[in-house]
Copies of this chain bind each other. A is one copy, B any other.
C-alpha cells in the first residue's frame, strides 16, 4: 500500500467524511475549470447539488482564493488551477481511478489507460472531461508532420472542440478516417478534422464521399484522382483517434436497412469502431469495402487511441479492446467500472 493510502486511512479514522468533502470541493473546482465561466445555478444543476449548498462551497472556495466570483459568473483563479493540477494524480489514487487504469491496461496489453471521474451517461460534463483527457493524450503522441485520422461522434467532438496547442502545428494533417455517415453535421469526421486543424494551426483534408458504398460506386470513385489523393493521405495516417459505439445504436443512427440490422444481430455484433462491427470477443463481423481507413490500414498504424465513456458502453469498449489493436484508451469511471466487472467475471470462471 502506498504511503498516501496509509496517510489517508489515518486521517479517516479521525475524520471519516474527509474524503467526501475533499471530493466534493475538488469536483466543484474542476467543473468550474472545465466550464471556463459558469453561473451558480447552472453549476449546481450539472453537479446535482442544491443551489444553497453549492453556494456555501463556492463562498468557501472564494475565501480560499481558488475561485473568482464576478457578475458574469465564476472562474477559476490561477491558484485554483495550480491546486487542481497538483491534485489530479492524488485524486486518482484516492478514489481508485489509477487502480482501474492499471488493471485495464494490463489485461488488454495497452500502452496507457486514462480514467476520468464520473459517468458520461448520467453526468453530461463528464464528456467534456473525456475530451480534455483525449486532447492531452493526442498531444503526447503527436509528432512533427504526423497525419492524424479521426472518426466522428459526440465524444470525439469534445476532443476537437477543446484541442489546443502551444505552438501551431504547421506540418501536421488532420483527416477523417471514414466518409460521411449520415449523422448530424457537428459530429461528422470531416467536421472534426477541420475543427482540430483550425484550432491547432494544422492542415486538413476532407473526404467528400459516403462511407458505405456498393462495389460499383467504390470502383468508380476510387478512379477519381482527387479522391485517390486524399485516400492515400488517410491510409498513411500514423495516428488514429476513434470513438466506440454500441453496434445497434450505431447501426440505427446510420439508417442502414432493417435486413442489415438483423444480419448484425445474428452475427452477434456488439460494438462499433472506425466503421467496423465487432462481436463481444472482438472479432470483426461484416467487412465491407470503404473509401476510408480499412482494417489493414489500421493494423499498420503506429498509434491507435480509443476515446469512449459511459457505463452503457462498457461492453462495447471491452469488445474493441479484445480486438486488440488499440494502444491507448481514454474512458470514464462509469465505463471503467463496467469493464473491470467483466474482468472479475472472467477471473471467476477461470
Interface on A for B, CB 8 Å cutoff?
3-4, 6-7, 9-11, 13-16, 18, 21-22, 25-26, 29, 64-66, 83, 86-87, 90, 132
Contact A3 B6 (CB under 8 A): no
* Chain B residues with CB under 8 A of A9: 86
* Chain B residues with CB under 8 A of A21: 14-15, 18
Nearest residue in B to A62 (C-beta to C-beta)?
B164
Report Cα–Cα, A344/B262, bound state, in Å.
Answer: 81
Contact A64 B14 (CB under 8 A): yes
Contact B10 A7 (CB under 8 A): no
Report Cα–Cα, A18/B8, bound state, in Å.
Answer: 13
Name the contact of A22 in the complex, choosing from B3, B15, B87, B90 (C-beta under 8 A).
Answer: B15
Report Cα–Cα, A180/B135, bound state, in Å.
Answer: 54
Name the distance in Å between A329's Cβ and chain B's nearest Cβ.
21
Q: How many copies does the complex hold?
A: 2
Name the distance in Å between A324's Cβ and chain B's nearest Cβ.
32
Report Cα–Cα, A87/B132, bound state, in Å.
Answer: 22
Name the contact of A90 in the complex, choosing from B6, B25, B83 (C-beta under 8 A).
Answer: B6
Say what secondary structure dominates the interface of chain A.
helix
Report Cα–Cα, A9/B16, bound state, in Å.
Answer: 18
- Contact A13:B83 (CB < 8 A) given known A7-B4, A7-B90, A90-B6: yes
Name the distance in Å between A37's Cβ and chain B's nearest Cβ.
19
Nearest residue in B to A136 (C-beta to C-beta)?
B63
Name the distance in Å between A15's Cβ and chain B's nearest Cβ.
5
Name the distance in Å between A10's Cβ and chain B's nearest Cβ.
5
Name the distance in Å between A297's Cβ and chain B's nearest Cβ.
33
Name the distance in Å between A261's Cβ and chain B's nearest Cβ.
40
Nearest residue in B to A3 (C-beta to C-beta)?
B4
- List 8 A–B pairs whose Cβ atoms lie within 8 Å, in order of A's numbering: A3-B90, A6-B86, A10-B86, A13-B66, A14-B29, A15-B21, A18-B21, A65-B132
Name the distance in Å between A55's Cβ and chain B's nearest Cβ.
14
Nearest residue in B to A86 (C-beta to C-beta)?
B10
Contact A83 B16 (CB under 8 A): no
Nearest residue in B to A125 (C-beta to C-beta)?
B79
* Chain B residues with CB under 8 A of A16: 64
* Chain B residues with CB under 8 A of A90: 3, 6-7, 10-11
Name the contact of A11 in the complex, choosing from B14, B22, B65, B66 (C-beta under 8 A).
Answer: B22
Name the distance in Å between A127's Cβ and chain B's nearest Cβ.
14
